[in-house]
Amino acid sequence: MTTQQFLRLIHSFSKCSGIGKGLTLIFGLVLSAGVLAGESETRLERILGELESYSAAFEQTRLNGAGETVETAIGVVYLQRPGRIHWAYWEPYVQLIISDGASVWIYEEDLEQVIIRDATDSIEDSPAAVLGGNVKIDEHYIVLELGVEEGADWLELTPKDLDAQYESIRLGFVDKQLSGMVLQDGMGNRTNIRFLDTQRNPALAPELFRFTPPEGVDIIDNRVNQAGEAPVPE
C-alpha cells in the first residue's frame, strides 16, 4: 500500500462514528513515500523514505468550530511498511483498527461489533492523495512549509479537491520523527494528535497486524470476493 493509499484509507474512516476512525489512516503516510514533486514534497519524501516501522502512544483531542473540546482519547499505534497498521484506542472506549495491507478490521468493544473492509475499497472512496505513491502529490495537494512551532517542524497539506472532507492536514516532525498531526475540516472542527514515546524503525511482531474477532461479536464483512461481488451473509 502506498503512502497516498494509506492516507486515503485513514480519511475514509473519518466518515465512520467515533473520533478515531478518520485519524488512524492518515497516520499511514509515515510508512511509504511515493512520487513527490517540489521542494516541500521532496523534503517530506526524504523523511518518510527512511522509515520502515513506527510505534507511539498518542493523545487525541477533538474540538468543535467554537474551539470547545468535544472529546479526548488516548491509545497506541504501531505501523509497519507496507500498509500494516495497528491503531488502538483505550479511552474513552476500546476500539481497534487493524490492517494487514489487504483487509481492515474495525472492532468496537462497546458495540460488540467488527467491520471488515477491503483496504483498496476504503482507499478509493476518500480524497487523501497526500504523500505520493503512484500519483504525484502536487496533482492533489498543495504543500506548504509552516516552519518551527513548539520545537516541531510543520508541513501543511491542502487538498485541491474542493469536495475533500479535510480542509488541511498538518504534520509535525521532530528529528524526522512524526510528533504531531492536526486535521481541520470544512465545518471548523479540528482534531489534534500528539505522539509520545515514539520509536523509529522498531522491530514489531507480525501478530500486531492480525485480528481474530472475539467470540459472540457481530461481524459485518464488507470485503469483495474475487468475483467482484460482496460476500453473501450466512
pLDDT digits (tens, 9 = 90+) for 112-125: 999 998 876 554 33
Q: What does the pLDDT read at residue 204? A: 95
pLDDT digits (tens, 9 = 90+) for 66-78: 999 999 999 998 8
Residue 226 belongs to a domain: no
118: containing domain: 3-213
Residue 166 belongs to a domain: yes
Residue 41 belongs to a domain: yes
For the chain, the average pLDDT equals 74
Q: Which three cell numbers stand for residue 62?
A: 477533538
| Band (42; pLDDT cuts 50, 70, 90) | low
Give CA–CA dist 156/154, Å, rounded: 7
CATH code at position 205: 2.50.20.10
Count how many domains the chain has.
1
Q: Which three cell numbers stand for residue 33?
A: 513515500
* Residue 5 CA: distances (Å) to CA of 18, 33, 90: 22, 11, 26
Give CA–CA dist 186/166, Å, rounded: 6
Whole-structure pTM value: 0.74
